[in-house]
Amino acid sequence: MAYGVRFSTKNLNDEEVSNILINFANSTENYTYREEFSREYTKAMQSPSFCIEYKNIKETIGYAITKKTKEYSLESIVPCKSGSIPFEIANEYAKAFVCDLRKYLKENLCNNFKVSLAKKKKLNLKDAIPGQKTRKHFETYVNGYPLTHHPLDIQKLDVFICAAHRYSRKKIDIDLIGAFLFNNLKWPEKEVKWCCDRIETGLKILEINKKF
């Protein structure tokens, strides 16, 4: 079961939330606030968003935080060098992040800022792919025989990628797509990675082609 991280920011405006998260990242050992990535993420999500990096001996991890409606949440945990990490390990990083942030909040008397860890409910594909037309193409792909890697099934995935590039007003969340495949459809981790890598690569190629 994947864990979700939620933030309660009662009586705090967006600037105050931003200051707390940035100061936490820049004053806590092994954490760094990534300003450029945060700007790009905010633009993509069309909402206040933050990218915080955690680096230890083994790996460098990226935490992506964004505001949805009135609440902030930790949307994804990804390794900065490779494309994905096992969900069990991601859960451990989520727990560590909550622990470190709680310690910072307590030491700095940030009483109006709370962070909690809770088991996520079953993912809804709409969270990963907001557009109905684009989501329908992905459902066509997963409702076939995607794990056979038959050329016709791969073609269905590629049609979805083209639809995501053409029709999606909001950027699809590839990490949530992976979580949906792993948690909801019980795909093997290897297959989840293959699918997500193809989506990510396809979207990058289409974006370059648009500018060519």
pLDDT digits (tens, 9 = 90+) for 15-58: 999 999 999 999 999 999 999 999 999 998 889 999 999 998 77
Say whether both 129 and 115 belong to one domain.
no
Residue 86 to residues 2, 63, 178, 184, Cα–Cα distance (Å): 10, 15, 11, 15
Radius of gyration, alpha carbons of the chain: 18
Integer Cα distance of 16 and 3 in angstroms: 26
What does DSSP say about strands 31-33 and 71-79: parallel, antiparallel, or unpaired? unpaired
Judge if 115 and 134 occupy the same domain.
no
User: What integer pLDDT is reported at residue 145 of this predicted model?
Assistant: 94
CATH classification of the domain holding 29: 3.30.530
173 and 207 belong to one structural domain: yes
**Tokens, residue 88:** 């069990």
* pLDDT for 70: 80
111 and 8 co-located in one domain? yes
Q: Are residues 104 and 64 in the same domain?
A: yes
- Same domain, yes or no: 134 and 97: no
φ/ψ region of 85 (left if φ > 0, alpha if ψ in -120 to 50, else beta) reads beta
Indicate the number of domains in the chain: 2
Q: Which of 62, 95, 119 is the last residue of a domain?
A: 119
- CA-closest candidate to residue 158, choices 202, 200, 193: 202
- Per the structure block, which two tokens stand in for 188? 């093997």
DSSP secondary structure, 55-67, as one string: E-SS-EEEEEEEE
Q: For 65-85, write each residue's pLDDT tens digit.
A: 999 878 898 888 888 776 566
pLDDT at 160 over 70: yes
Query: Could you tell me the residue range of the domain that residue 43 belongs to?
Result: 3-119
Decide which of 39 and 118 is more confident: 39
Task: Please say which residue of 119, 136, 156 terminates a domain.
Answer: 119
Note whether 115 and 137 are same-domain residues.
no
Query: Quick one: 105 exposed, middle or buried, by C-beta within 10 A (0-12, 13-18, 19+)?
Result: middle
Domain boundary (74, 94, 119) is at: 119
Token pair 């820049």 is found at 26
Examine the domain organization and report whether 47 and 149 are in the same domain. no
Does residue 156 contact residue 200 with C-beta atoms inside 8 Å?
no
Domain identity same for 75 and 171: no
Q: Are residues 99 and 70 in the same domain?
A: yes
Kindly indicate the confidence band of residue 1, based on its pLDDT and cuts at 50, 70 and 90: very low
DSSP H/E element including 53? strand 49-55
Binning the chain into helix, strand and coil, the percentages to the nearest 5 are 55, 20, 25
86-117 tens-digit pLDDT:
667 888 899 999 999 999 999 999 999 999 88
Are 130 and 110 in the same domain?
Answer: no
Q: What is the DSSP letter of 76?
A: E
Identity of the amino acid at 194: W
User: In this structure, are 140 and 82 located in the same domain?
Assistant: no
